[in-house]
Amino acid sequence: MTDKQVFIFDTTLRDGEQVPGCKLNTDQKIEIALQLEKLGVDIIEAGFPVSSPGDFRSVEAICKAVSTPIVCGLSRAVQKDIEVAAAALKYAKRARIHTGIGTSQSHIIHKLKSTQEKILERAVAAVKYAKQFVEDVEFYAEDAGRTDNEYLARVIEAVIKAGATVLNIPDTTGYCLPEEYGAKIRYLKENVNGIHKATLSTHCHNDLGLATANSIAGVQNGARQIECTINGIGERAGNTSLEEVVMIMKMHPSLNVDCDINTRLINSTSQLVSDRMGMPVQPNKAIVGANAFAHSSGIHQDGVIKKRETYEIIDPKEVGVDHSKIVLTARSGRAAIAYRAKNIGFNLSKDQLDIVYARFLEIADQKKEVEDQDLQIIIKNKLSIAQVSV
Ligand code: KIV
Ligand code: ZN
């Protein structure tokens, strides 16, 4: 392991599965866990075992099914939760208990009806208790995004002393600005004794659309684990999306970080999760949306046909998409028509293209998208030319 290595902690099966309507059965969870293993995630957060007998059984089954990734179970800073998580993780080749408690004033006063000192004691006690079952204990300071940095640093220092191996700094409400979140991670790096013994982790929610930016800011300031989900699913507006942070790290070598994800499996994993959860991916979603590699305006199409990189920073093959798409709409130009006509076996001369293009525009003004079949009919009706096999 080098300092460049960023661990990918996937919580699709825990935070992601909390989405209303996205509930999975055990077989579906195993199928997704095996795909995440192939994808190369380092840690799978398999569930919250105390939450229901079904979740317990799923975590147990995932532990038996996967070999390489660490399997993690969530708990609150409550002995019973920790015991149940440990029991569910019994068959894991490598187990991690994830335990924690709210640290912001809002959580301490309104949710936990407690004091900073008592919460600090509970945090330490939870980590010590979890350490009786497993070596690898991750602590989360819920709502760390809105927690005062000085108090947060005290809690983190105390739980490291108690044996925490990973410190999760969640922006639970998705409130932070990237600069603020990055500064929080840097503050912990610079002010917590013993921080070098543990890994700092980001866990960002997307309420303001900043989850990915905040996670990357965290990494730029010393975090070495990112918690994320496939397609960015998760509570409310979701979590950081795995595909986005992974491709940002890949596309920007200047960040000087690396991870072990096989990016060519990103698209198929996205489709599997979307299908099994019954949760469609928005077409304009970065990396995995249906339009992520589709070009519809004439200016862009002309550029992409001449050289793909003109309007695409990622080679679609890098994320498991066969090829870029040239979509025919009323905004398309002649270059796109010639290109798509050639794909279906018609090599149009300049004059022929002018004729086809005029008719194409009439049709395109009536339809959202002109398909290959429509184009074939236009060409056959307007010209008497042969279609070659492609
Ligand atoms: O968002 C959050 O704070 C969480 C914790 C339970 C890690 O999901
Ligand atoms: Zn969360």
How many angstroms separate the alpha carbon of residue 207 from the centre of ligand 2?
Answer: 11
Residue 209, strand partner residues: none
How many angstroms separate the alpha carbon of residue 9 from the centre of ligand 2?
Answer: 12
pLDDT in tens, 313-372: 999 999 999 999 999 999 999 999 999 999 999 999 999 999 999 999 999 999 999 999
Q: How confident is the model at residue 170 (pLDDT cuts 50, 70, 90)?
A: very high
Residue 140 alpha carbon, nearest atom of ligand 1: 7
Say yes or no: 333 and 247 in one domain.
no
Say yes or no: 219 and 301 in one domain.
no
Say yes or no: 120 and 77 in one domain.
yes
How many angstroms separate the alpha carbon of residue 146 from the centre of ligand 1?
Answer: 13
Cβ 270 under 6 angstroms from ligand 1: no
Last residue of a domain, one of 277, 303, 325: 277
> Percent of the chain at pLDDT above 90?
98
Residues 6+ apart with CB under 8 A from 383: 348, 352, 355, 356
Closest CA to 187 of 172, 205, 167: 167
Task: Decide if 5 contacts 258 (C-beta within 8 A).
Answer: yes
How many angstroms separate the alpha carbon of residue 309 from the centre of ligand 1?
Answer: 38
Q: Which residues fall inside 5 Å of ion ligand 2, going by CB?
A: 15
Say yes or no: 367 and 337 in one domain.
yes
Last residue of a domain, one of 242, 277, 312: 277
Say yes or no: 123 and 250 in one domain.
yes
Say yes or no: 217 and 114 in one domain.
yes
Region 233-239: mean pLDDT is 96
Measured distance CA(110)–CA(299) in Å, rounded: 55
Measured distance CA(219)–CA(255) in Å, rounded: 9
Say yes or no: 68 and 128 in one domain.
yes
Say yes or no: 272 and 304 in one domain.
no
Task: Decide if 62 contacts 30 (C-beta within 8 A).
Answer: yes
Domain extent, residue 264, equals 7-277
Say yes or no: 93 and 235 in one domain.
yes
For the chain, what is the domain count? 2
In a domain, 338, yes or no: yes
| pLDDT at residue 353, rounded to an integer | 98
Query: Atom 6 of ligand 1 has which residue's CA nearest to it?
Result: 142
Average pLDDT score over the chain: 97
Task: Decide if 69 contacts 31 (C-beta within 8 A).
Answer: no
Measured distance CA(24)–CA(54) in Å, rounded: 10
Cβ 170 under 6 angstroms from ligand 1: yes
Task: Decide if 199 contacts 159 (C-beta within 8 A).
Answer: no
Q: Is the pTM of this model over 0.85?
A: yes
Could you give phi then psi for residue 384, rounded to 5 degrees?
A: -110, 80
CATH classification of the domain holding 227: 3.20.20.70
Measured distance CA(389)–CA(344) in Å, rounded: 8
Say yes or no: 183 and 300 in one domain.
no
Cβ 48 under 6 angstroms from ligand 1: no
Closest CA to 125 of 84, 96, 82, 89: 82
Say yes or no: 264 and 317 in one domain.
no
Residue 385 has pLDDT above 80, yes or no: no
Query: Strands 294-295 and 70-74, how do they pair?
Result: unpaired
Query: Strands 136-142 and 325-326, how do they pair?
Result: unpaired
Q: How confident is the model at residue 1 (pLDDT cuts 50, 70, 90)?
A: low
